[in-house]
Structure formats: structure tokens, C-alpha cells
């Protein structure tokens, strides 16, 4: 039986049942079964922690994460209309960096800025309704001699996309097209 502590609620009122076994950890990620695709669930005390865990989970699907070194750093910045779309944009950018340049992310120090309280039509803040993510990512380039490829991820999907808030923090769920 799921308890209230095991559920997260999206801003739209949807309920995300949470994996009770994982709730003992303050942050983490797991893969869940999805027909012909891979589901990824990530959680943390804050939105930033949940998004960092989602990046960690995506990378672990592409290349075993323990083989990626902290050799260099890269700044990544993305924007979106809401936090769920921001998750897709964030993971899609990491996938793009891997697909086009072989960049593997070992860790991410993320700052997320929620939309301004000012009206979206304000002359001062024309993009006041935009969520912003800035991440200092450490990692390295793919090396076929050291890194074993896992599953090839084609895209980050909006299918079953959810970001929810609960008593123990934030849970994010996304489906990856493989």
C-alpha cells in the first residue's frame, strides 16, 4: 500500500507513485520497464538534485557511469516553459553533446531558476515565464578503448513525462526512446 510519503504531485495535480524501496535514499535514480523504450526515474531533495540524478541515470544507460572520469568541465545552459519541459531539454542537450562530440558527463552542479514573478508581458522581463538551468558538468570525451557502450538512446520523450513534489523532495520521470 502506498503511503502519502511515497507519492509526488505535479503542478498539474497528477500523482506519481514513488518506488518505496528507493525512498530510503535521499537522492538517486532507477530504470523502469517500458514497452520498447527505457523509463528513467530520478529523485532528490531539490529539483537540482533530481535533475542531476536524471543526468547520471541517462549517462549510466549510455556508458557505465563508473568508467567516466572528471577530466574536464563544460557549461551547459538550457531554458523551457516549465520544469518538466526543462528536464527533457536538459537531458536532450546532454544526449546531443554525446551524439555530436562524444561528451560523457560524470557529474553536474546544477542551478535552476524558476520563472520571475513579474508578468510575462512585462517590458523588463519579456521571458519572465521561462525556466532556466545552468550546469557546470564535469566529464570527458568518449574513448572506445576505455568506455563500453550500453544502450543507444535516440531521444528523450515527452511520453509519461512528470516532475512531482512530495514530502521527501522531488521526483522526475521520463521515457527514453531507444
Average pLDDT score, the chain: 84
Q: For 3-22, what is each residue's pLDDT tens digit? A: 344 555 555 555 555 553 44
- Across the range 23-49, mean pLDDT stands at 87
Instruction: Quote the pLDDT of residue 169.
Output: 87
Pairing of strands 37-44, 103-113: unpaired
pLDDT value at 62 more than 50: yes
Looking at 14-23, 58-67, 77-86, which range is the least confident one?
14-23
Q: Assign 24 a pLDDT band (cuts: 50, 70, 90).
A: low
Q: For 150-175, what is each residue's pLDDT tens digit? A: 999 999 999 989 998 888 789 999 99
Q: Could you tell me the domains of the chain? A: 33-115+127-177 (3.55.10.10)
Report the C-alpha gap between 145 and 102 in whole angstroms. 13
Instruction: Quote the pLDDT of residue 98.
Output: 96
Pairing of strands 72-80, 131-141: antiparallel
Which has the higher per-residue pLDDT, 152 or 64? Answer: 152
Looking at 16-25, 33-42, 108-117, 135-144, which range is the least confident one?
16-25
Report the C-alpha gap between 109 and 128 in whole angstroms. 24
Place of cell 531507444: 178
* R_g of the chain, CA atoms, integer Å: 16
DSSP secondary structure of 34-56: ETTEEEEEEEESSHHHHHHHHHH
Amino acid at each position: 500500500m502506498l503511503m502519502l510519503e511515497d507519492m509526488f504531485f505535479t503542478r498539474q495535480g497528477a500523482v506519481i507513485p514513488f518506488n518505496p524501496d528507493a525512498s530510503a535514499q535521499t537522492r538517486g535514480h532507477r530504470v523502469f520497464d517500458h514497452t520498447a523504450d527505457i523509463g528513467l526515474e530520478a529523485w532528490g531533495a531539490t529539483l537540482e538534485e533530481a535533475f542531476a540524478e536524471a543526468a547520471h541515470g541517462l549517462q549510466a544507460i549510455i556508458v557505465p557511469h563508473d568508467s567516466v572520469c572528471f577530466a574536464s568541465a563544460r557549461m551547459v545552459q538550457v531554458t523551457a516553459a516549465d520544469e518538466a519541459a526543462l528536464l527533457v531539454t536538459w537531458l536532450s542537450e546532454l544526449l546531443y553533446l554525446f551524439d555530436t562530440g562524444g561528451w560523457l558527463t560524470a557529474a553536474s552542479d546544477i542551478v535552476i531558476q524558476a520563472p520571475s514573478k513579474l508578468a510575462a508581458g512585462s517590458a523588463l522581463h519579456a521571458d519572465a515565464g521561462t525556466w532556466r538551468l545552468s550546469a557546470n558538468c564535469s566529464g570527458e570525451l568518449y574513448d572506445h578503448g576505455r568506455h563500453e557502450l550500453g544502450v543507444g538512446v535516440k531521444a528523450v520523450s515527452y511520453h509519461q513525462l512528470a516532475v512531482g513534489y512530495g514530502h521527501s523532495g522531488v521526483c522526475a520521470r521520463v521515457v527514453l526512446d531507444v
